[in-house]
């Protein structure tokens, strides 16, 4: 693994006043067009993020612009050849970026999991290069020679690294200061405190017979903060109890979690339709 350019926990490049540079190498540059939209487009317009998309085939040397070949040892599909990748990465990394060398990332289902902590770590880098593999993947020697990280966005298999790159760049870019209008919305995010975010509401106060919880209309900021924390704890306990192991809990938090546990035990003890005696043949 090569050294990376950023200090853990240090300032992001945007805090230091320079844009983060992201290069993406792919055989489908059009897949990365969404990087021009919405928040990512705004971050680019504001000079917080600079994105360069490259077509790997520009570094192929034959008439057909071939970038793949059959796998050694047999088996299905094709493998991406090392030479175009090496030529692309040499040219890009010597193109005068904001650091002596970029951090090179290969999205792959075989990588370490992408998390909010990982997004925050990468947001501190000045320069990232994403290598989007297709087919059965990229020749392993390219990964050995160039990759700083192999990262998976989840336990499922996509057809290539492009969508995984979009996911990661969006999660990273919104952490760059100046990219999101309201920085509070970042600190309140699901995962920002290790908890899932609770439900949110807007006008009208009653819709389709459903009322917004009274506390949110009360103007009592302390009570609202406590309610939000309770909802986040409840939701996390119900949907992702594994996350609670890393959360610092107050006495009040523990009381909420004990209540959730009691409710879960009570509802597990309640008879369900499935427990009811099967209907007799006559009744059917
Ligand atoms: N490429 C294909 N599937 C992927 C995944 N789950 N994560 C990252 N890159 C991928």
Average pLDDT, the chain: 90
**Ligand 1 lined by 161 (C-beta under 6 Å):** yes
241 CA from centroid of ligand 1 (Å): 25
Count Cβ atoms within 10 A of the Cβ of residue 206 and give its class: 0-12 exposed, 13-18 middle, 19 or more buried. Answer: exposed
Contact 135 CB / ligand 1 (< 6 Å): no
Binned at pLDDT 50, 70 and 90, residue 226 comes out as very high
pLDDT at 279: 54
CATH fold match for the domains 20-173 and 206-267: no
Nearest partner of 115 among 11, 185, 194, judged by Cα = 194
- Residue 247: other Cβ atoms inside 10 A: 14
Query: Do 164 and 110 form a contact (C-beta atoms < 8 A)?
Result: no
What is the Å distance from ligand 1's center to 266 Cα? 40
Backbone φ/ψ region at 72: left (φ over 0), alpha (ψ -120 to 50), beta: beta
- The helix or strand, by DSSP H or E, that contains position 89, with its residue range, turns out to be helix 82-93
**Is the per-residue pLDDT at 4 higher than 50?**
no
User: 20-173 maps to which CATH number?
Assistant: 3.40.1280.10
**Which tens digit of pLDDT belongs to each residue from 141-175?**
999 999 999 999 999 999 999 999 999 999 999 99
Burial 153-177 (b: 16+ CB within 10 A, else e): beeeeeebbbbbbbbbbbbbbbbbb
For ligand 1, atom 10: residue with the closest CA? 108
Which ranges of 115-176 would DSSP assign to H, the alpha helix?
A: 116-123, 140-146, 162-173
Asked about 21 being catalytic, the answer comes back as no
According to the model, what pLDDT value does residue 271 have? 83
Domain ranges of the chain: 20-173, 206-267
Ligand 1 pocket check for 108: Cβ under 6 Å: yes
pLDDT at residue 220, as a whole number: 98
- Asked if 174 is an active-site residue, the reply is yes
Q: Is 65 tagged catalytic?
A: no
Instruction: State in Å: Cα 169 to ligand 1 middle.
Output: 14
- Catalytic pick among 34, 71, 98, 109: 109
Of 21, 44, 103, 174, which residue is the catalytic one?
174
pLDDT by residue (tens digit) across 11-55? 665 555 689 999 999 999 999 999 888 888 888 888 999 999 999
Which atom, in ligand 1's list, is nearest to the CA of 159?
2
Q: Does the beta carbon of 154 sit less than 6 angstroms from any atom of ligand 1?
A: yes
DSSP assignment of 211-274, as one string?
A: EPPGGGGS--HHHHHHHHHHHHHHHHHHH-GGGGGGS---HHHHHHHHHHHHHHHHHHHS--GG
Q: How far is the CA of 165 from the centre of ligand 1 (A)?
A: 9
Average pLDDT, integer, range 112-136: 97
pLDDT score of 183 more than 50: yes
Mutate to test the pocket of ligand 1, among 25, 147, 158 (most ligand atoms within 8 A of CB): 158
18 lines ligand 1 (CB under 6 A): no
* DSSP symbol at 210: E
Write down the CATH superfamily of domain 206-267: tRNA(m1g37)methyltransferase, domain 2 (1.10.1270.20)
- pLDDT tens, 42-96? 888 889 999 999 999 999 999 999 999 999 999 999 999 999 999 999 999 999 9
Average the pLDDT over 262-278 and give the result. Answer: 83
Return the bridge partners of 210, or none. 207
H/E element, 187: helix 183-187
Q: Is 189 a catalytic residue?
A: yes
pLDDT confidence band for 2 (50 / 70 / 90): very low
């Amino acid at each position: 693994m090569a050294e990376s350019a950023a200090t853990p926990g240090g300032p992001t490049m945007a805090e230091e006043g320079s844009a983060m540079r992201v290069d993406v190498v792919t055989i489908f540059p059009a897949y990365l067009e969404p990087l021009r939209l919405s928040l990512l487009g705004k971050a680019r317009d504001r000079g917080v993020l600079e994105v360069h998309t490259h077509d790997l085939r520009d570094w192929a040397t034959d008439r057909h612009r071939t970038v793949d070949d059959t796998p050694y040892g047999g088996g299905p599909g094709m493998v991406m050849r090392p030479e175009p990748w090496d030529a692309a990465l040499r040219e890009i990394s010597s193109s005068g970026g904001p650091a002596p060398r970029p951090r090179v990332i290969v999205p792959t289902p075989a990588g370490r999991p992408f998390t909010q902590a990982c997004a925050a770590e990468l947001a501190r880098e000045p320069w990232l290069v994403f290598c989007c593999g297709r087919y059965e993947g990229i020749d392993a020697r390219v990964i050995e020679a160039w990759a700083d990280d192999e990262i998976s966005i989840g336990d499922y298999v996509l057809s290539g690294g492009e969508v995984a790159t979009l996911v990661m760049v969006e999660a990273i870019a919104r952490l760059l200061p100046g990219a999101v209008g309201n920085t509070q919305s970042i600190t309140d995010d699901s995962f920002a405190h290790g908890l899932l975010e609770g439900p949110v509401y807007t006008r009208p106060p009653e819709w389709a017979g459903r009322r917004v919880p009274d506390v949110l209309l009360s103007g009592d900021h302390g009570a609202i903060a406590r309610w939000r924390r309770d909802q986040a704890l409840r939701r996390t306990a119900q949907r992702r109890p594994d996350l609670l192991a890393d959360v610092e809990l107050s006495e009040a938090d523990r009381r909420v979690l004990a209540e959730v546990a009691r409710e879960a035990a009570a509802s597990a003890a309640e008879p369900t339709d499935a427990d009811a005696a099967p209907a007799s043949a006559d009744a059917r």
